Chains A and B, each alone.
Chain A
Amino acid sequence: MNIVVCVKYVPDAQSDRTFNESDNTTDRVGVDGLLSELDEYAVEEALKLVEAGEGEVTVVTIGPDEAADALKKALQMGADKAVHVKDDAIHGSDAIATSLVLAEAVKKAAGGTPELVLTGMASTDGTMSVVPAMLAERLGLPQVTFASELTVDGQQVTIRRDGDAASETIVATLPALVSVTDQINEPRYPSFKGIMAAKKKPVEEWSLADLGVDASQVGLDAAWTKVESFTKRPPREQGQIVTDEGDGGTKLAEFLTAQKFV
């Protein structure tokens, strides 16, 4: 089975993430970036599926030059090849436009409709969790999201999803799009062999023109939503800290009473 995994290059959550002053977009260049942690689970799951049978894993990303780092990580983990969609016109695209470009890239990478598309449950920067559903809508695929277990048997894909009210079993027929949670597996670290092998793996670079997407459909000006302003939340001021000397619980309760929580 050939699997396409969509991944995102995101600003490291450990660094000081911020916006570009000029156009209110996420700063993806001025801060350290990496493969979104939540996408590693999708890469890992794809590798496991292919290792248990046959086929190849293609990773696709959209992003600036630096986004090649995210692809490199996925190739080092064991993906077979990578596609990097980059085009200056894409800067500032919203989720809708991203899903449009991604849909074309996935189709081109798979040479038609892919059998299985895997994604993470959300990016760690935008955290909207909507691109998988949008991508499924555009590709005309059933979507099975937030999988904490995934099995493929012939043309049938079965997942378990742990919701708030119930644990559900969901079945779909391939081709399908599945997003996976961080509960599904333990992503591997790239081995030395994997790191060396990744250097020889093909990375294709495609522009919007290569995908037949008109530049007027993407980017900041074509976004259907607009960030009007951003404000840094003032740091929380540290309140009162007491050391427990046998009365810490009592003091805690006194604070709650004073604040009218009790």
Chain B
Amino acid sequence: MSEVLVLVDHANGTVRKTTAELLTIARRLGEPSAVFVGDGFDAAKETLAKFGAEKVYRVESADVTDYLVAPQAEVLAQLVADKSPAAVLIPSNSAGKEIAARLAVKTDSGLITDAVDVQAGEGGGVSTTQSVFAGSYTVKASVTKGTPIVTVKPNSAAPEEAAGAAADEVVDVTISDAAKGAKITESKAKEASGRPELTEAAIVVSGGRGTGGDFGPVEAFADSLGAAVGASRAAVDAGWYPHTSQVGQTGKQVSPQLYVAAGISGAIQHRAGMQTSKTIIAVNKDEEAPIFELVDFGVVGDLFQVLPQATEAVKAAKG
């Protein structure tokens, strides 16, 4: 069976949930081989084996980790040439999409981004599903040339365990000088919020203009549900919440089991980031707010009254 390359998304060996999802998807297409770039392989190995990686190609060169995406694209291009995989699966985050873009050009291969489902195609290849035009259309697509390169969004598959050998093989790569053109000179780690990652969370609670800058009730409600916290562009532009938490066209696209919009009117740009969520709840003072068109449950009221009451009720129900 052909190999399927999965680029591992990790922080010093702590593997993100998306990688387990990608390995699960890879098993539909062939035999998963993880590609691990950076330090911390020993910590990652167990997770990679648990989700079915038969092989792990390791790259630890500082030539790769200190620079932006171009060296990682060179690593993958070399593996594509050596191993002739059936497909390459890459996490659909900003770095992943750029790696995929360069890889597609290098290997003369078709690229699909932001897939929400990937299946083996009839007669070989892959068949992907994407959600487009702010979630108003669903598109099915296939790759018709080269090695299918697909970036896959978080929550596109439920991770399923399957024992793999995770036999590691250190890959020697020569990185071109051209790929070292952009160097990371400083990196200031963000303070951890202790909440789930926005794009991976099962529940997201977002606040908008209606918070007036006070995200206290939004955060408290999110914490009662174990949810991530998001923000509308209006709240971000006002400086009330960081841009990395922005949900919408120019921020994160989320598709959780439950999305709660508090004090958000629901402009098209915001809807583009959340309308594929399974269940949607809104709390807004304005009964005419367009967000109410999308909701499964809506409360016309003041979020400063409604959310604290709901928070207490949720806490009481959880005991």
Report whether chain A binds chain B. yes
Counting chain B residues whose Cβ lies within 8 A of the other chain, the interface size class is 35 or more
Report chain A residues within 8 Å CB of B136.
Answer: 17, 232-233
> Is the CB–CB distance between A227 and B140 below 8 Å?
yes
> Is the CB–CB distance between A249 and B306 below 8 Å?
yes
Q: Any chain B CB within 8 A of the CB of A9? A: no
> Is the CB–CB distance between A261 and B102 below 8 Å?
no
Q: Is the interface of B mostly helix, strand, loop or mixed?
A: mixed
Please, what's the 1-or-0 string for B110-138, where 1 marks a CB less than 8 Å from any CB in chain A? 11111000000000000100011111111
Query: What are 29 contact pairs spanning A and B, CB under 8 A?
Result: A13-B134, A13-B269, A14-B268, A95-B101, A99-B105, A125-B133, A128-B114, A130-B111, A143-B182, A164-B190, A168-B186, A182-B250, A224-B111, A224-B144, A225-B141, A227-B140, A228-B127, A229-B139, A238-B292, A239-B298, A241-B299, A248-B309, A248-B310, A249-B305, A249-B311, A249-B313, A252-B313, A261-B258, A262-B318
Report chain A residues within 8 Å CB of B100.
Answer: 130
Which residues of A224-261 have CB atoms within 8 Å of chain B's CB atoms?
224-233, 235-236, 238-244, 246-257, 259, 261
Which residue of B112, B186, B242, B292 is within 8 Å of A225 (Cβ)?
B112
Which residues of A47-97 have CB atoms within 8 Å of chain B's CB atoms?
94-96
Report chain A residues within 8 Å CB of B198.
Answer: 164
Q: Any chain B CB within 8 A of the CB of A216? A: no
> Is the CB–CB distance between A140 and B313 below 8 Å?
no
Report the stretch among B54-62, B81-89, B161-169, B274-282 that lies at the interface: B274-282
> Is the CB–CB distance between A128 and B297 below 8 Å?
no
Which residue of B127, B144, B306, B308 is within 8 Å of A244 (Cβ)?
B306
Q: Any chain B CB within 8 A of the CB of A166? A: yes
Please, what's the 1-or-0 string for A204-223, where 1 marks a CB less than 8 Å from any CB in chain B? 00000000000000000001
> Is the CB–CB distance between B112 and A133 below 8 Å?
no
Residues of B participating in the A interface, judged by any CB pair closer than 8 Å:
11, 68-70, 73, 93-94, 97-102, 104-106, 108-114, 127, 131-146, 178, 181-190, 197-198, 203, 225, 242-244, 249-250, 257-258, 268-269, 272, 275, 279-281, 283, 287, 292-302, 305-314, 317-318
Report chain A residues within 8 Å CB of B249.
Answer: 13, 124, 127
Q: How far is the CB of B168 from chain A (nearest CB, A)?
A: 25
Which residue of B114, B294, B313 is within 8 Å of A253 (Cβ)?
B313
4 A-B pairs with the lowest CB-CB distances in the bound complex, closest first: A249-B309, A142-B181, A244-B301, A224-B110
Complex CA–CA separation, A224 to B3 (angstroms): 21
Q: Any chain B CB within 8 A of the CB of A170? A: yes
Which residue of B187, B269, B301 is within 8 Å of A248 (Cβ)?
B301
19 extra interchain contacts, Cβ-Cβ under 8 A, other than A18-B137, A170-B182? A94-B111, A130-B111, A133-B97, A145-B98, A166-B190, A167-B190, A169-B187, A223-B110, A224-B104, A225-B110, A225-B143, A228-B141, A228-B142, A229-B140, A241-B292, A248-B305, A252-B297, A252-B299, A253-B309
**Nearest-neighbor residue (CB-CB) of B98 within chain A:** A133
Q: Any chain B CB within 8 A of the CB of A138? A: yes
Q: Is the interface of A mostly helix, strand, loop or mixed?
A: mixed
Q: How far is the CB of B151 from chain A (nearest CB, A)?
A: 9
- A interface residues, how many (CB within 8 angstroms): 85
Q: How far is the CB of B124 from chain A (nearest CB, A)?
A: 14
Q: How far is the CB of B76 from chain A (nearest CB, A)?
A: 13
Report chain A residues within 8 Å CB of B145.
Answer: 224
